[in-house]
Structure 1
Amino acid sequence: MNPWGWALLALTAARLAATAVLPLAPDEAYYRIWSRALAWGYLDHPPMVAAWIRAGTLVFGDTAFGLRVMGPVGLGLASLALWDAGRRLFPERPEAGVWAAALFNTTLFVNAGAVLVTPDTPQMVFWCLSLWALARLHASQDGRWWLAVGGMAGLTLLSKYTAVLLGAGIVLWVVLAARHWLRDWRLWVGGLLAVAVFAPVIAWNAAHGWASFAKQGGRAGTEATHPGLRFVWELLGGQIGLATPLVFLLCVAGVAAFRRRPAGGLLAALVLPGAALFLWQSFGSRVQGNWPAILYPAACLAAAGCLGPGWDRWRRPAVGLGLTLVVLGFVQAAWGPLPLPRRQDPSLARLGGWPGFVAEVEAARRAGGYGFIAAEEYGLAGELAFLLPGVPVVAISDRWKFFDLAPPPAVTGLLVRSERRGEGPPLWPGAVPEGGVTRARNGIEAEAYRLYRVTPREGMPPAALLP
C-alpha cells in the first residue's frame, strides 16, 4: 500500500474513534427515530440517512458508534473514488487524484460529516461516486458508464433533494460540451434509471400531500425584507471557514482555470450552477453553511488538476492548515477546553452537556412520579429517547403525523421546553409550569429549559411515543 493509502486508512480509523467519543447531536438523535420507523420519505428529507443508521445499528447496536459507523466508511470509499477520478480526468498529472482527495479530506464539513451522521453524509458519498462514474465515462467514452451515473445519481437523490444540482450540472455539460451523447440511448436509460431509483420518494410525497417537496422547496424564499449583503457575506465567510481558507482559495482558483484542461468543463458544470444558485439565494435569505458542501468534490478535482505549477506550493500548507483546524475542532467538540460561550462555539450549542442534562430531567421525572417525558423540539425529543432507554418519551408537533408510531400513554408526563422557543405557551394544551433545568458543559451554559406537567387530551397536536 502506498503512503496515500496508509494515510487514508489512518484518517478513517481516527474518524471511527471520534464517532464513539463525541456526544450525539440532536439532529442525529432525530434521524435515529427515522431508522426505527423506516419509510420512503419524511417531512425533512428522503430516506437514505435512515437506511444508513439502520444498517450500522443492526451490526454495532443502538450506540453512537453504530449510528455513525457508515459515515467514515462511506467517506473513505468516496475518497478512493475522487483519487481514481483525478487519475482518469487528468492522466497527464498523475498526482491530481491524490491531491484532490487530500484537499477534500481536510475540509471541516467533510470531517464533520464523517463523524456526525446527517443526510449530507450519504449525499456526499454518492455524489463522489457519481462524479467517479462521470470521470470514467469522460475518459473512456464508453456509454455504458451512463448506467452507473444514473444509478449513483438516483442514490444521491435518495439522500437529499439538493442532489438535483448534480443532474443540472450533467445536463449543462452535455448540452454545452458533450452533445454527441444526446444520440446515445444509454444516456437516456441512465436518466430513466435515476428517476426510477427516486420514484418511491415521489410516491411517498404524492401520498402525503407533497409535504416534503413543499417544505424543502419553500426554503428558497426571502427571509428578510431588506437583507442587503448580510447573507452574502455570511455565505462567503462560512465557506472560507468550513472549507478552510487555503482549500477554499485553491478550489475557487481551480474552477476559474477550468479552460486549461479538457476535463475542466465537466468539473465547472458540476460547480458553477450550484454556486450561482446559492449566491442568488443569499441575496434574500440565509444559506446554511453545509448546503454548498456538495460542490467541493468537483472543485477539489479542479484545484488539483487545472491549476498551473505556480499553485503547487500552496497544496501542502492547505492540507496542513486544514488538518490542524479539524483536530482543534474535534478537541473542542469532545472536551471543550476553551471556555467559549454558546454564540462562539457551535459544538457547545449542539453537543455540550447532554448526559448531565438528561440525568437531571430523569431525576425530576422520578421525583414527580411522571409516566413519561415529552418535548416539542424534535432533536430534544430524540436526545431524550436515545439517552433514556426504557423511559417513555413523547414528541409533540405536526411533523409526527407522518410517522407510524404509537400515541402517548394516558398518564401525566413532564414536558421539557427550551427557553429559546420564547415566552409563548407550549404546544401541549393545559401545560402547568414545574420549574426549569439547564444544559451546560464545564460550567458554561449551552441552553436553558422550562419544565411543565402535561396530560394527553382530545384536540392536542399530533404526538408520538418514540422508539
Structure 2
Amino acid sequence: MSLLVRAISIRSIGALCLLTIGFRLLQIAVFPVTQDEAYYFYWAKFPDFGYFDHPPFIAWLASLSNIIPGTPWAARLGGFLLASLMFTVMISLARLAGLKDRSSIYLALLLSQLNLGGLILGFIQTPDLPLAFFWLLALHEAAVAIKIDPRRWLTAGVMTGLGLTSKYTMAIMGLVFLYALMRKPRGLLSPWPYLGGLACLITFLPHLTWNYQHDWVSFRFQFGRGLKSEYHVDTNMGNKLPRALDAKVGSPEETLARTFKRPEKKKEPKPPKSKIEKASQRVGNYIGGQLGLWGLMIFPLAIGLWRKRQKNSLDPHVRSLLIASVTVPLGVFGILSPFQNIEANWPAVYVLGASVLLAGSLKLRPALYITGLGNLILIALLTIHAHYPLNKSKAHKDRILYETHGYEDLASYLKQVPGPLFADTYQNTSLISFYNPSQAVTQWPGITRLSEMIRRPEMMKTSYQTALESDQIFLITSNRIPPAIPGFSAKMLWELRDCVDGEFQIFSADDSRYLDLSCEKAVHRWTLAEYKPNTP
C-alpha cells in the first residue's frame, strides 16, 4: 500500500471538498459573466415553467440576481450550492457501488470534482449544472432501489423529472434505468420502476403543460438544434417590432459604414471537404472533446487503464447501472457525431458514473492528485486571462475573451444614449442588461436568430409605436453594417472597439483618424447606429 493511500483519512476527504468548494466560491465572484449566463440571469426576472431555449430550472437557480442585480456571485450562488451538495451524493453513491476503503472514495471524489469539466461546472451557470446534479441524484436513488429498497424508484423518477426540467438530455436516463433493470433478475416485473416513471411524468408535467400552451416551442427548438442543427423555429412573436432587413448598397446604413472598412488581406480559398472528411472531423472533435473533459487527468488515467488494474469489487447490479450511465450518453451522441457538431458538454454527465467505475478499478496515485490540482491551476490561469489577456495574437477568436471581455465598458458607455436602445443579439441584449439593470434594452428581430427576448411580450421594453414617437433610437450590433429598420433611416454610426489591452475606443463615421488610431487587436467591434424616424 502506497504512502498516499495510507495517508487518506476523513480529514483528507474533507480537505479535498473544502479546496474545491473554496475555489468555486472565489470563481463565482471573480470570473466575468459569460454570454449565455447573462441570458439565463435575464430569464430569472420573468419566473415561469419554460422558456424558448431551455427548461426553467437554470432561471430558478439565478433568482437571487433579482435581489442583488448586476453581481455575478449573487446570480451564481444557487448553482454553487447545488455543485457543493454533489460531494455528499457522490460519497454515498460510491459506497452503494461497493467502494469501502477511503482511498477509493477519495479517488471517486477526485475524479468527479477536479476534472476540467467538473471544475468549470461548479461556477459557470448553464443548464448542465442542474442536469448533472439531478443526474447524479437519479443514479443514487436508482442504486438504492436496485440494491436495497425498490420503492426508491419513486424518488429516482422525481429526480429524473427535475433533471428534465433542467435539460432535455435527461431523457436518456430512461435507457440507463432500462439497461440496469434488464441486468437484474425480475427487475422489470416489479411495479416500482413503472410508478417511478409516473412520478417522473408528474414532476415534469408543469413544463410539459407550458410547452403545450406555447406550441411546443422549446421542444421544437432543442430537438431541431440537437438533431438537425437547425436554429429557426416558427412561432408567434411577442415582440411586435417589424423584422430588420439587410442594408442595401448605397443605403444610409451601408454608406456610413464604409468608414469602418479596413483593407482586407487576401486569403487563399480552401478546397471544399467531402462528406466523409467532414464526418471524420466531427467524430474526431467529438472524441477529443470527451477526453478533454478530464483535462490533465487524462494522462495518468490512460496509463492506469493500460497497466494492470486492481480487481473490481463493485456491486454487480450497481455496476451495470453505472456502466449504462457512461455508455448511453457517449453512445447516443456518438451516433449523432458524424452528422453534426456535438458540443463537449452535451454528453458530459458520463463523467459522474465513470468516476465511480474508475475508482473501483484503479489505484490512487500521486499523479492523479497532481493533475487534478493542475486542472485547478489551469482554470485559475483562464480566469486571469479573462481579466488580463495572456495571449493577444488572435483576440477576436479567443472564446473566453469573446464571451466576457469589454461588455462592462460597453454597458457603461451605452448608459448615455439619449433615446430607446435596441440590440441585435440576445447575447448583447443580456450582457448590457446585466451590467445596466435599470436600462431598458430590447432585441430587435430579424437580425439574428429568434430568442426568448423576442418571443416573450414582457421582454419587449420599447414598443414600435414608442420608437416611432421618439426623436431618435439607437441600435448596438456586432456587424459592421447595421440593418435597415422599417420606418427609420440611419443618421450616424459609431464604432466601439474593445481592444485586447483594455482600451475602449470610440470612433464616429466622420472621423478620418479611424485607420491610424484604432487598435489592431480588438476583441469586439460593435457598431452603434443612431436612427431617426422617416418623415412622411
TM-score by length of 1: 0.86
Counterpart-to-counterpart distance in 2, 1:9 and 1:316: 15
1:213 shift after superposition: 0.6
User: What corresponds to 2:289 in structure 1?
Assistant: 238
Native 8 Å contact 1:252 1:299 kept in 2: no
1:35 shift after superposition: 0.6
Native 8 Å contact 2:99 2:105 kept in 1: no
Q: Is the aligned partner of 1:415 residue 2:415?
A: no
Aligned-residue identity in percent? 24
Counterpart-to-counterpart distance in 2, 1:231 and 1:86: 34
Native 8 Å contact 1:90 1:96 kept in 2: no
Residue aligned with 2:341, SS: coil
User: What corresponds to 2:193 in structure 1?
Assistant: 187
Residues 310-359 of structure 1: CA deviation (Å, up to 9, x unaligned): x7565334423322323322322343234352366321111112222222
Question: For the structure 1 residues 427 and 108, does the alpha-carbon distance in structure 2 shift closer, same or farther, using more than 3 Å as the test?
Answer: farther
Counterpart-to-counterpart distance in 2, 1:161 and 1:456: 44
Letter in 1 for 2:473: G
Residues 289-326 of structure 1: CA deviation (Å, up to 9, x unaligned): 21121111011111111x254x7565334423322323
Q: Is the aligned partner of 1:322 residue 2:370?
A: no
Question: For the structure 1 residues 356 and 185, does the alpha-carbon distance in structure 2 shift closer, same or farther, using more than 3 Å as the test?
Answer: same
Q: Which range moved further: 425-434 or 324-333?
A: 425-434
Question: For the structure 1 residues 230 and 429, does the alpha-carbon distance in structure 2 shift closer, same or farther, using more than 3 Å as the test?
Answer: farther
Q: Is the aligned partner of 1:204 residue 2:210?
A: yes
Question: For the structure 1 residues 242 and 137, does the alpha-carbon distance in structure 2 shift closer, same or farther, using more than 3 Å as the test?
Answer: same
1:219 shift after superposition: 2.3
Q: Which range moved further: 444-453 or 295-304?
A: 444-453
Counterpart-to-counterpart distance in 1, 2:177 and 2:85: 22
- Partner of residue 355 from structure 2, selected from 300, 303, 312: 300
Native 8 Å contact 2:293 2:344 kept in 1: yes
User: What corresponds to 2:513 in structure 1?
Assistant: none
Native 8 Å contact 1:99 1:304 kept in 2: yes
Native 8 Å contact 1:251 1:296 kept in 2: no
Counterpart-to-counterpart distance in 2, 1:428 and 1:179: 67
User: What corresponds to 2:167 in structure 1?
Assistant: 160
1:9 shift after superposition: 2.1
Residue aligned with 2:33, SS: coil
Counterpart-to-counterpart distance in 2, 1:225 and 1:34: 41
Native 8 Å contact 2:443 2:454 kept in 1: no
Q: Is the aligned partner of 1:385 residue 2:433?
A: yes
Residue aligned with 2:348, SS: helix
Residues 422-456 of structure 1: CA deviation (Å, up to 9, x unaligned): 75836776452522212334254222112223469
Native 8 Å contact 1:278 1:292 kept in 2: yes
Native 8 Å contact 2:440 2:461 kept in 1: no
Residue aligned with 1:436, SS: strand
Question: For the structure 1 residues 13 and 323, does the alpha-carbon distance in structure 2 shift closer, same or farther, using more than 3 Å as the test?
Answer: closer
Letter in 2 for 1:230: Q
Q: Which range moved further: 155-164 or 81-90?
A: 81-90
Native 8 Å contact 2:135 2:349 kept in 1: yes
Counterpart-to-counterpart distance in 1, 2:144 and 2:30: 38
Counterpart-to-counterpart distance in 1, 2:73 and 2:344: 25
Paired residues for 1:85-104 under 5 Å: 85-104=93-112
Paired residues for 1:30-429 under 5 Å: 30-54=39-63, 56-57=64-65, 62-140=70-148, 142-175=149-182, 177-221=183-227, 226=275, 227-247=278-298, 250=301, 260=312, 261=314, 262=316, 263-305=318-360, 307-309=361-363, 312=365, 314-342=367-395, 345-363=398-416, 365=417, 369=418, 371-397=419-445, 398-399=450-451, 400-405=453-458, 406-409=460-463, 410=466, 411=470, 412-419=472-479, 425=483
Counterpart-to-counterpart distance in 1, 2:381 and 2:95: 32
1:154 shift after superposition: 0.9
Q: Is the aligned partner of 1:438 residue 2:497?
A: yes
Residue aligned with 1:36, SS: coil
Q: Which range moved further: 186-195 or 236-245?
A: 236-245
Counterpart-to-counterpart distance in 2, 1:201 and 1:26: 25
Question: For the structure 1 residues 228 and 25, does the alpha-carbon distance in structure 2 shift closer, same or farther, using more than 3 Å as the test?
Answer: same
Letter in 2 for 1:72: F
1:202 shift after superposition: 1.2
1:287 shift after superposition: 0.6
Letter in 2 for 1:425: P
1:64 shift after superposition: 1.1
Residue aligned with 1:20, SS: helix
User: What corresponds to 1:460 in structure 2?
Assistant: none
Question: For the structure 1 residues 59 and 424, does the alpha-carbon distance in structure 2 shift closer, same or farther, using more than 3 Å as the test?
Answer: closer
Residue aligned with 1:159, SS: coil
1:27 shift after superposition: 1.0
Q: Which range moved further: 399-408 or 378-387?
A: 399-408
Question: For the structure 1 residues 162 and 123, does the alpha-carbon distance in structure 2 shift closer, same or farther, using more than 3 Å as the test?
Answer: same
Counterpart-to-counterpart distance in 2, 1:106 and 1:52: 23
Question: For the structure 1 residues 248 and 77, does the alpha-carbon distance in structure 2 shift closer, same or farther, using more than 3 Å as the test?
Answer: farther
How many residues in Structure 1 have an aligned counterpart in Structure 2?
Answer: 444
Native 8 Å contact 2:181 2:188 kept in 1: yes
User: What corresponds to 1:11 in structure 2?
Assistant: 20
Residue aligned with 2:347, SS: helix
Question: For the structure 1 residues 438 and 192, does the alpha-carbon distance in structure 2 shift closer, same or farther, using more than 3 Å as the test?
Answer: same
Question: For the structure 1 residues 136 and 454, does the alpha-carbon distance in structure 2 shift closer, same or farther, using more than 3 Å as the test?
Answer: farther
Letter in 2 for 1:416: I
Residue aligned with 2:125, SS: coil
Q: Which range moved further: 228-237 or 397-406?
A: 397-406
| Unaligned residue ranges in structure 2 (runs of 5+) | 1-9, 230-272, 503-520
Residue aligned with 2:44, SS: helix
Q: Is the aligned partner of 1:447 residue 2:456?
A: no
User: What corresponds to 2:267 in structure 1?
Assistant: none
Native 8 Å contact 2:482 2:529 kept in 1: no
Q: Which range moved further: 221-230 or 281-290?
A: 221-230
| Unaligned residue ranges in structure 1 (runs of 5+) | 458-467
Residues 162-194 of structure 1: CA deviation (Å, up to 9, x unaligned): 11122221122212x125232222221111111
Q: Which has the larger radius of gyration?
A: 2
Native 8 Å contact 2:51 2:218 kept in 1: yes
Question: For the structure 1 residues 228 and 389, does the alpha-carbon distance in structure 2 shift closer, same or farther, using more than 3 Å as the test?
Answer: closer
